[in-house]
Structure 1
Amino acid sequence: MSSTLSASEKAFRAEVRAFLADALTPELRLAGSRMTSVYADHASQMAWQAILHKRGWAAPAWPVEYGGAGWSAMQRHIFTSERVAAGAPPTSPMGINMAGPAIIGYGTEAQKAYFLPRMLSGEHFWCQGYSEPQAGSDLAALDMKAVRDGDALVCTGSKIWTTHANVANWMFCLVRTARTERRQQGITFLLIDMATPGIEVQPIIMHSGEWIQNQVFFDAVRVPVANVLGEIDGGWTVAKYLLDFERGGALTRRN
């Protein structure tokens, strides 16, 4: 790759290498080497994100106006390649790489102002509430219901295989707000505070003994309508937009 880099990209690579050599502690390198999945342990993830946030590099693909690095695709590739080569752990993808772009793309100004800085700093750590016991790969079959009651949606049901729900304090979640002939309709995208009464997290322990996956139960959990991302019944559109980032897409402005 070196021969194809421009002079500015080679300078950027040198900057990244110098940063990694200086910022990576032996403990963080050890955490990177001990990964048994795509996730490092939670404490190491948060320690590394704090270092990146201080440098302004926590969100490589976000626009600068939201606190991101605003890097090009090549810069992001260079950074990822150098990070892996240096043995640094990754940050969790659920917030910065997934919920963040969805909020930038579909959030109100109030939602952006509240959630994005806290996501970057690590004050908010996110998990994804998609899969259900009877709706795993068939996401449109989800059944967790949310009924409008004044300025709240009352959520009842469960999510399963929820990575890091045991340490997350926020969840982006798909819920059923209406039943129509077309299952993709009537789905709403919600941002849920995990400290809300009625939420219970039960562990799913892996064969390795690690606690990463969970089942999350919702018993009449009241979520403010202000935490709807996009429109009520329009969550499928937001979920499709987010899928681009889950698959490694770049953040672009919506028309």
Structure 2
Amino acid sequence: MYDSELKRYEQAIQTYLLQQQRSFSAHNEKAWNQNNYTALVNRYGEPAETARKIEQNPEWRLHPFYKYMGDVKGKNIVHLMGSNGIKAVALGLLGGIVTVVDFSAENAAYAQETSKEAGVSIEYVISDTLSIPAETADGQFDIAFMELGVLHYYIDLHPLWEMVGRLLKQGGMFILHEFHPVSTKLITSTGKKHKVTGNYFNPGIEKSTIAFSKHLSNEEQETLAMSLHRKWTLGEVLTSMARSGLTISVLEEEPNHKGHDIGLPKTYTVVAYK
């Protein structure tokens, strides 16, 4: 009786969180489809210019997680929340067969133009990650990966890891490269000074300006909607991933190499398998 009631409550909680995630994602999708193409051009240059830069050293664009991928030639790879397509183009130049999933049509336009200029073909699926069409999420991928500033768009990580499982072949690899929560949740840095200003264990939802906003004019910035974030601890990320059936083989914490920040963790990489 107790187990059946517990299961019923868990299912009710998961259903509620999924409903909240849809609202959460819709809000963030709107925020990421406003002037983003202009911001990308301001940040990286026109697609032709970006393509030339990637061609010079595609491996560098995939640092530091490329070492875990091995030879990507002929491998089916999906980049979840793949944004501007720079990583996808780099993998395409190295011989990968690459699909990008992202809910920003402006990201898609920039990525597709850049890939064309680089002479590689990528598939771009404009979709929320949890709503990937069944014809894409059919266990066809050798590698799935996510990187830098993506997990905070989820208020529950379990559906995300379940989607990763649906995308991967049996034995397929998942790579997560993310900002370290010590830097994003706990510490504020100004020059040589570092202060503990946050609560590492705070599970609350925060409002924030869109990452690309600094590459727009002040006038354009004033019109932008805010995005919503839920920041995760390292323990929450790893535990939820393991409970979803992925087998974790690597956790690498990467240091900050800036002079004032030496000794602080900047990013981390997790490698897991289906």
Instruction: Give TM-score scaled by structure 2 length.
Output: 0.23
The one of the two structures with greater contact order (alpha-carbon pairs below 8 A, sep at least 6) is: 2
- For normalisation by structure 1, the TM-score amounts to 0.24
- In proportion to residue count, which structure has more strand? 2
